[in-house]
A and B are shown apart, each in its own frame.
Chain A
Amino acid sequence: MFRSISGLRVPGSLQSGRHPGEGRGPIGEALVTMRGLSSAAFPNWAPAFAGVESGVRAVLASVGLMALVAGGAASAQDAPAPVPQAGAPAAADDQSGGLVVDVTGGISAPMPIAVPVMPTSAVVSTPAGSTDVLGRQLADIVTNDLRNSGLFTPLAPGQLRAIGFPEVTAPGFDYWGSTGAQALVQGFIRANGDGNLTVGCYLYDVSSRAELTRQGFVVPPSDWRRAGHKCADMVYTRLTGEGAYFDSRVVYVSETGPKNRRIKRLAIMDQDGANHRFLTNGQSIVLTPRFAPNQQSIVYMSYVNNRPAIYVYDIGTGRQRLVVQNASLTFAPRFSPDGRNILFSMAQGGNTDVYRVSSQGGAPQRLTNSPGIDTGGSYSPDGSKIVFESDRSGGQQIYVMNADGSNQQRISFGGGRYATPVWSPRGDLIAFTKLGGGFRIGIMSPSGGGEKLLTNDWQDEGPSWSPNGRVINFFRSGRGGGGKADLWSVDLTGVNERKIPTPLDGSDPAWGPLRP
């Protein structure tokens, strides 16, 4: 099952005559640089043990969501290929012959997994810190990512024994078996001498004593945390069959102050809260930031100069430009999946409609024309359709139309009002805010069926999808003048609701794409 990938560098000192992926003996490494942007740069080495039946399989109770997921875009189930398939309900198929995490049902038994500290071949001081300290922190990143997904129970790192550098590719399976871990993640970190760091990441099935997969990453010191997230993504995708999402960022509005004197600033951070920085200074109200698909800019709405308008902010340069000239109130912007267009809403004379404009600027094209309030457009991942909200029928409801504005059809009929629809990057679901009593986050299929509410607090609003379409960010507001808003996330099965740590309060989160 070995796939040869061109362009890989195998360091002479660690060259192995063995077939890579056999998991024992000297390390045969595939080193892939993260400086390249191609997603093909991350090979997923297939394990060499195909057909071995694992005695350890975490199969979890499946509840009604099976039907919902299956009702969406169905993915074909391959024959016993160990290659992870994004979006496929994995529970029914364990022909992979190995460790499998059922992601479609209620998570009743997260998989115990061990992530010991990653050793280093030599302790070297780097701009990111000393390599032995980094090895500890990398294990923490992987541990936290996996635990926060709700699908894994990492063993407490402090209770795991340290592993030596040669042991990375030759795990002590007797010991790991005794800890109760079903899966084991071992890795290493090394300073390359050219200023970069190399991080190796290996995933093992403890009971079958087999390596499942491995990847290596070469990163500049400034990006060292991304190697940890890429490692966690490798583990997660291999064991769940879902797409990756840990190596991604979130842009949101950082808030502070009482409700009638609130200071709002754009902010960006890694999805685990690290590398947080503010992008605006709080002098003007800012709202609803969203990433461009290439992640180089953010489109958002600002009240600078008392003129509510939408701007594209270049993350690298910090400069921004007005998207629509000479317009009255414009808001609710979102990029198209190809980055070429920006959807937005414009209010004129008391009526609001959805428009599209080239992201380079120019004349907007009107897409809706009802006397009601039409706002909040979001594209399907293939760019062919747009979901939006409209109160043309008397109250806010969800509508789907073609990308050119034709064939506008209401899809929400569940009783109550619906707002802020967002199409999952997987295409199978639409998340929304349901109003009536309180605000709750919910999901439905693109035809409006299978509605399921995921949260139940006073005011949960503004969902945003993770890159793999499995987790939803939103913000939760409290009552009263001190009533703060905070960022939260929830799994699409409704479990694992957790608060996202931010330096101040927060609202309007937008999850960016997976970083290449």
Chain B
Amino acid sequence: MAKFTTTLLCATALIAVAGCAKKRPETLPPAPVDSSAGVDPTGGLANGGANGAIVPGSDADFRRSVQSNTVNFALDMYDIDPTARAILDSQAEWLARNPNVRITIEGHCDERGTREYNLALGDRRANSAKNYLAARGVSASRMTTISYGSERPVAQGSDDAAWAENRRAVTIVLN
């Protein structure tokens, strides 16, 4: 049944794209490279299935369904601001629709902290996001956290924009 559904989805997608050239899907399927780093060695391709279709309940499905898999933080802070709330709310909704899925939340920092403190701060951020999701009904037993400190930045620059991008918590669906 799943395979039929997948094929149907594929066919529908193709027709939709072919027929409505000006209308683009709200969120595009993710690129193969995993920018949040570290957890999925296949770079997301494993979620795509043999013919590139998105498997429901997968990390690729998660990323195309929610507002974002990433929330950002202010310098040295780990509180969830209104933008982050909206993002996490959308994550919580998806997680409610996929109750058997487990996730890990990575915490990251920008480079302007010392090594060990950043590991701890990353942990704070990951737990901040986790606690928010728990308050939105996601069972804590479904969630683990990990901190990468400032070891895995997504932006390489040494300017405010890059640093802001690097201060983040990333939610990743585990397979």
- On A, residues with C-beta under 8 Å from B are 258-260, 262, 285, 287-288, 303, 306, 308, 328-329, 331-332, 345, 347, 349-352, 373, 375-376, 389, 391, 395-396, 419-420, 433, 435, 439, 459, 461-462, 477, 479-483, 507-508
In the complex, which residue of chain B has the Cβ closest to the Cβ of A418? B114
Encode contact with A along B19-49: 1 for CB under 8 Å, 0 otherwise. 0000000000000000001110000000000
21 cross-chain CB contacts under 8 A: A258-B156, A259-B111, A285-B151, A306-B38, A306-B146, A308-B146, A308-B147, A331-B119, A345-B120, A347-B120, A350-B127, A373-B117, A375-B116, A375-B119, A389-B116, A433-B114, A435-B114, A439-B114, A480-B157, A482-B156, A507-B115
CB distance from B60 to the nearest CB of A (A): 19
Given contacts A262-B151, A462-B114, A462-B115, contact A352 B123 (CB under 8 A): yes
CB distance from B72 to the nearest CB of A (A): 16
Which one of A420, A459, A481 lies within 8 Å of B157 (CB-CB)?
A481
List 7 other contacts, CB 8 Å, given A347-B119, A350-B78, A419-B116.
A260-B152, A260-B155, A303-B151, A332-B119, A352-B119, A352-B123, A439-B114
Interface check B167, CB cutoff 8 A: no
Interface size class of chain B, counting residues whose CB lies under 8 Å from the partner chain: 20 to 34
Which one of A375, A477, A479, A481 lies within 8 Å of B117 (CB-CB)?
A375
In the complex, which residue of chain B has the Cβ closest to the Cβ of A353? B120
CB distance from A439 to the nearest CB of B (A): 7
Provide the residues of chain B in CB contact with A332, threshold 8 Å: 116, 119
Given contacts A306-B146, A329-B147, contact A508 B115 (CB under 8 A): yes
Provide the residues of chain A in CB contact with B114, threshold 8 Å: 396, 419-420, 433, 435, 439, 461-462
Q: Which 8 A-B pairs have the closest CB atoms?
A: A481-B156, A350-B127, A479-B158, A352-B120, A347-B123, A419-B114, A373-B120, A332-B116
Interface check B57, CB cutoff 8 A: no
Q: Which of B102-156 contact A (CB under 8 A)?
A: 111-117, 119-121, 123-124, 126-128, 131, 145-148, 151-156
CB distance from A17 to the nearest CB of B (A): 61
Cα–Cα distance between A260 and B35 once the two chains are bound (Å): 9
Contact B127 A375 (CB under 8 A): no
Provide the residues of chain A in CB contact with B146, threshold 8 Å: 306, 308, 329
Contact A373 B157 (CB under 8 A): no
CB distance from B131 to the nearest CB of A (A): 7
Cα–Cα distance between A259 and B152 once the two chains are bound (Å): 8
Which one of A288, A389, A391, A480 lies within 8 Å of B156 (CB-CB)?
A480
Given contacts A389-B117, A461-B115, contact A349 B127 (CB under 8 A): yes
Provide the residues of chain A in CB contact with B145, threshold 8 Å: 328-329
Which one of A287, A351, A479 lies within 8 Å of B115 (CB-CB)?
A287
In the complex, which residue of chain B has the Cβ closest to the Cβ of A375? B116
Contact A373 B127 (CB under 8 A): no
Provide the residues of chain A in CB contact with B120, threshold 8 Å: 345, 347, 352, 373, 375
Cα–Cα distance between A439 and B111 once the two chains are bound (Å): 11
Provide the residues of chain B in CB contact with A331, threshold 8 Å: 116, 119
Provide the residues of chain B in CB contact with A259, threshold 8 Å: 111, 153, 156
Given contacts A373-B121, A375-B116, A462-B115, contact A350 B152 (CB under 8 A): no
Contact B147 A347 (CB under 8 A): yes
